Chain A
Amino acid sequence: MWDIIQNHYQLLLLGTFPQGPLGGLALTLVLSILGLCISFPLSILLALGRLSKFPPVYYLATTIVYVVRGTPLLMLIFWSYFLLPLLIGNTVNPFVTLLCSLVIYEAAYLSEVVRAGIVALPPGQAEAARALGFGRAKTMIYIVLPQAIYNMLPSIVSQFASLIKETSLGYVISVHELTSAANRLNSELLTKPFEVFAILALTYFLVCSTVTFIAHVLERRIAKRRQGQSITPSRVHRDQIYESQ
């Protein structure tokens, strides 16, 4: 196994880059990061749509979220891959197809995370902002969303780990990400599928468990910060001593 890594690490990490296009783990990460960055703002819009009191907006957002969440990602990829060229009359680069599918899929999932974050905030926060003269939009932008997103950071990071694994479906439409690279390597070596796919599994495991670990650390930090919000007797006592000095 070690010799496979030594001889072929470049294919697994970068694909045929710099001679050919970027691939392998690097492309997987590029897809995941782009996917998260583009789907995140969309997910906020969807979440706000789901919380909207204006029925057309609410039903539109809810339908999108339910349909996407009720559909396998692979189906979404096929639709984009075969339907998009028919609709726009042009061939679409598989990378773009995969990215679009991932963005739509993740936006639907993340929107529920963001929505939960907004709903979980004490209603007093928005009320205090409104009482100060903040309009609905400003209340959302300056008071509610910063807190909701901060509280939901661990879930968002966990969702990123899922996203990394989901990019492996790019294999079916010939995006040269990590799984495709491993498959290509397997075809070259012919006799070592166990080793090649063990390396593949290990790589996903290392990357995803690191991301999950980050989510765990964030979660603990946030829990600690929240605990600080309830005033402990010792803190009150300390403050009184401080004030009496």
Chain B
Amino acid sequence: MIRFTKVNKWYGPDHALIDIDVVIPQGEVVVVCGPSGSGKSTFLRTINRLENIQEGRILVDGTDIYDPKLNVNRFRQKIGFVFQQFNLFPHLNVLDNICCAPIKVAGKSKAQARALGLQLLERVGLEHKAQAYPQQLSGGQQQRVAIARALAMEPPIMLFDEPTSALDPEMVGEVLQVMKQLAKGGMTMVCVTHEMGFAREVADRILFMDAGRIEEDSVPDVFFANPRHPRARAFVADLSGH
């Protein structure tokens, strides 16, 4: 479970997150949407401390993640993160990209990590690319490898930061397919995305953010049919206009 209590964050004079209060129970799939610059990515990145907050508390499975005694590296192993730009390691092949954290961080044996890596590659449909280098793959394939890499640490929580925004339209489907599979498997997921089809189909809840605040927190049916907040209404109207 992830719990935000009165979280505030500033970038210099910019108030990036304002009084965020939200609870994400275990196994829930939450989609975070909103206009650019609304603080969605910042919100997501505070959950695994890629960004620090200045005020408030964030608890993940009951642990205060800003506790000075917390081992951040061990804590981050429990949270998978998928980036917009994939960020695969270009000097390692696909299988090594997936196996490097289990071996170097979790201390698994090479054989164990390799078996796990191949199993994950099969899950994302890329077992035939194990020996390829990231630059030899299409964007969609790279993002699927990045998801497999995050899953290799067997995290109970996965965070997605606009995982399909850098992809050509024809590759979005293959990545969303993998994410849907994960959601069905009971993974706790927080996804910043503009894929409203995915939100409608998979999300348990939608958080709509604007100017650093969570303005709307509702189930997809309510969000799309009857958004309460005027900005969310404009956002949804804008979506259906396209």
- Residues of chain B within 8 A of A138, CB atoms compared: 104-105
- Say whether A125 faces chain B, with CB atoms less than 8 Å apart: yes
- Say whether A87 faces chain B, with CB atoms less than 8 Å apart: no
Most buried by A among B48, B74, B135, B146: B135
- Say whether A8 faces chain B, with CB atoms less than 8 Å apart: no
- Say whether A134 faces chain B, with CB atoms less than 8 Å apart: yes
**A132 in contact with B87 given A231-B139, A239-B138 (CB within 8 Å):** no
Contact A134 B89 (CB under 8 A): no
B76-84, B112-120, B199-207, B231-239: which lies at the A interface?
B76-84
- Residues of chain A within 8 A of B65, CB atoms compared: none
- Say whether A236 faces chain B, with CB atoms less than 8 Å apart: yes
**A132 in contact with B149 given A138-B104, A138-B105, A229-B90 (CB within 8 Å):** yes
Within 8 A of B (CB), among A78-115: none
State which of A122, A125, A130 has its C-beta within 8 Å of the C-beta of B76: A130
- Say whether A131 faces chain B, with CB atoms less than 8 Å apart: yes
Once the chains are docked, how many angstroms separate the CA of A21 from the CA of B136?
52
Contact A132 B135 (CB under 8 A): no
- Say whether A72 faces chain B, with CB atoms less than 8 Å apart: no
- Residues of chain A within 8 A of B150, CB atoms compared: 131-132
Binary CB contact string for chain A from 215 to 245 against chain B (1 if under 8 A, 0 otherwise):
0000000000100110100011001100000
Once the chains are docked, how many angstroms separate the CA of A133 from the CA of B105?
7
**A131 in contact with B50 given A124-B85, A125-B89, A143-B89 (CB within 8 Å):** yes
Contact A236 B104 (CB under 8 A): no
Q: How far is the CB of B89 from chain A (nearest CB, A)?
A: 6
State which of B85, B91, B101, B168 has its C-beta within 8 Å of the C-beta of A132: B101
Contact A131 B76 (CB under 8 A): yes
Contact A231 B76 (CB under 8 A): no
State which of A130, A143, A236 has its C-beta within 8 Å of the C-beta of B138: A236
- Residues of chain A within 8 A of B135, CB atoms compared: 225, 228-229, 231
Once the chains are docked, how many angstroms separate the CA of A131 from the CA of B73?
8
User: Which residue on B lies nearest to A149, using beta carbons?
Assistant: B91
- Say whether A127 faces chain B, with CB atoms less than 8 Å apart: yes
Binary CB contact string for chain B from 94 to 123 against chain A (1 if under 8 A, 0 otherwise):
000000110011100000000000000000
User: Which residue on B lies nearest to A141, using beta carbons?
Assistant: B104
Number of interface residues of A (CB under 8 A): 26
- Residues of chain A within 8 A of B105, CB atoms compared: 132-134, 138
- Say whether B23 faces chain A, with CB atoms less than 8 Å apart: no
Once the chains are docked, how many angstroms separate the CA of A239 from the CA of B150?
24
**A127 in contact with B50 given A132-B105, A133-B76, A134-B105 (CB within 8 Å):** yes
- Say whether A142 faces chain B, with CB atoms less than 8 Å apart: yes
Most buried by A among B83, B88, B90, B149: B90
- Say whether A147 faces chain B, with CB atoms less than 8 Å apart: yes
Contact A133 B74 (CB under 8 A): yes
Contact B83 A127 (CB under 8 A): yes
Most buried by A among B87, B100, B137: B87
- Say whether B20 faces chain A, with CB atoms less than 8 Å apart: no
Contact A132 B50 (CB under 8 A): no
Which of B's residues lie within 8 Å of A, judged by CB?
A: 48, 50, 73-74, 76-77, 79-81, 83, 85, 87-91, 100-101, 104-106, 133-139, 141, 146, 149-150, 153, 168, 170
Which of A's residues lie within 8 Å of B, judged by CB?
A: 122, 124-125, 127-135, 138, 142-143, 146-147, 150, 225, 228-229, 231, 235-236, 239-240
Show 16 residue pairs from A and B whose CB-CB distance is below 8 angstroms, ordered by the A residue.
A125-B89, A128-B83, A128-B87, A128-B89, A130-B73, A132-B150, A133-B74, A133-B106, A142-B100, A143-B89, A225-B135, A228-B135, A228-B136, A229-B134, A231-B138, A239-B137
* Known contacts A124-B87, A133-B153, A142-B104; 8 further A-B pairs (Cβ under 8 A): A125-B87, A130-B50, A134-B105, A147-B89, A225-B135, A239-B137, A239-B138, A239-B141
Complex A-B, nearest 8 residue pairs according to Cβ-Cβ distance, in ascending order: A128-B87, A133-B77, A131-B81, A124-B87, A132-B101, A228-B135, A229-B135, A133-B105
